[in-house]
Amino acid sequence: MKILFLNTTGGYFGGVEQNIALATKGLTERGHICFFACQKNSAVEQQSFDALFTSTWNLGTVPLDSILAQTKPEVIYVHKFDDIESVRRVSKNIPIVRMIHDHDLYCPRRHKYYALSHKICTKKAGIGCYLDLAFLERGPKGIAFTSIRNKLNDLNENRKLHTLIVGSNYMKGELLRNGFSDGQIALLPPCIAPFAEPPKEFPKENTILFVGQLIRGKGVDTLIKAFALLKNRYPFPVTLEILGTGNDLENLQTLVQEEGLTEVVKFIGWVSHDKLVSFYDNASIVVVPSRWPEPFGMVGVEAMLRQRPVVASKVGGIPDWLEDGKTGFLAPSTEAQAFADKMLILLQDKKLAREFGMAGFRKAETAFSFATYCERLETILMGGNL
């Protein structure tokens, strides 16, 4: 089968592009021919990314209809792409399958929680988005106006697609809420890059680990407050390692100082995926304290593949992979005391922490394996059972 991937960006720019690369490797190994077209190249490991495909194009220089004439794909596989109407216009009878990676399609604010109250939104996209100031967005030059009407029109264009792939039951529910039919939605959790090394033994040191962007929606402030509460109750040395970068870094560093935690909280910065494994292996607990409804939450599954227990917010797609009381603990988002209580249990009961880690490993190896992902994706792209 010939497959044309479409995305805004080329190269190993972020998680979406990592997903495309992994899917391409798996589909190529299964005998399919993969092409790629994007609106711009990121220049991040561009050559190695482009080498995965039979051919690649930049839509700024080669129009899509010309690419379709050259490749004659049997399916167009769209990822992050704003102008879906232009794809539909030139695709003719070629099926279009789109993977929805985040909340951008059905949430004009993109975060799926309210700007002022920070409570999770449970409404469909519509006139109410104006009341939540969704016509404003943060750009490189500060706050700018954006068109909600255009976003609602794009949502309507996406309702006409053949198939939409989502990573969690939460995202499927949001599409159903916004007028998509159950028959056009396929559930496929994101592929997790396999680790080359087997997991290491549980560490003797007590280290709590966060991996992700340092933005308000990730709830790192809640984690720091929970860690402060934990330190007051746990008599042994324990460290919090925070991996990632983002626009909330300075606020979080100030919070650490205010809580008197500068000696035990380490801001590591950005770490490449191949180096993450050592941080997972050195961790006693991995925490996902998101206040926004995570579309899925891949960090948690990666932690499970390293046999580490997870404490995470009960929001979005997280309950799809975290079994409360079996592979870790779920806690109400933004409740620091609840997170502190759950982390304390796992620090005090290392046997339970190991049991959770092993149960998570077994689940991740079966439900979220790379082979399972590729087989399911192949079936969906070939028009099989959703």
Q: Hey, where are the domains in the chain? A: 2-111+148-193+370-381, 207-367
CATH of region 207-367: 3.40.50.2000
How many residues can be counted in the chain?
386
Helices (H) and strands (E) in the chain, counts: 14, 15
State CA 230 to chain mean position distance: 28
Contact 261, 228 (CB under 8 A): yes
Report the alpha-carbon distance of residue 106 to residue 159 in Å, rounded: 11
The tens place of each residue's pLDDT in the chain, 386 residues long, gives: 999 999 999 998 888 998 999 999 999 999 999 999 999 999 888 999 999 999 999 999 999 999 999 999 999 999 999 889 999 999 988 999 999 999 999 988 778 888 777 788 888 888 878 777 666 666 666 666 777 788 888 899 999 999 999 999 999 999 999 999 999 999 999 878 778 889 999 999 999 999 999 999 999 999 999 999 999 999 999 999 999 999 999 999 999 999 999 999 999 998 887 889 999 999 999 999 999 999 999 999 999 999 999 999 999 999 999 999 999 999 999 999 999 999 999 999 999 999 999 999 999 988 888 888 999 999 999 987 66
Alpha helix segments (H runs only) across the chain: 15-29, 46-50, 64-71, 84-91, 128-131, 148-158, 169-177, 220-231, 249-258, 273-282, 298-305, 336-348, 350-367, 370-381
**2-111+148-193+370-381 sits in which CATH class?**
alpha beta
Q: Are 313 and 113 in contact (CB under 8 A)?
A: no
How far is C-alpha 244 from the chain's CA centre? 14
**For residues 63-101, b (16+ Cβ closer than 10 Å) or e, as one string?**
ebeebbeebebbbbbbbbbeebeebbeebeebbbbbbbb
CB atoms within 10 A of CB 204: 7
Tell me if residue 384 falls in helix, strand or coil.
coil
**DSSP-H helix ranges across 240-384:** 249-258, 273-282, 298-305, 336-348, 350-367, 370-381
* Run of H or E including 288: strand 285-288
DSSP conformational letter for 217: G
- CA 147 – CA 222 distance, rounded (Å): 33
Q: How far is CA 332 from each of CA 118, 323, 339, rounded to the nearest angstrom?
A: 14, 14, 8
The b-or-e profile of 253-274 (16+ CB within 10 A means b, else e) is bebbeebebeebbebeeeeeee
Say which DSSP state 149 is in: H
Mode of pairing for the β-strands spanning 142-145 and 136-139:
antiparallel
Cα dihedral value 352, 353, 354, 358, nearest 10: 100
Same topology between domain 2-111+148-193+370-381 and domain 207-367: yes
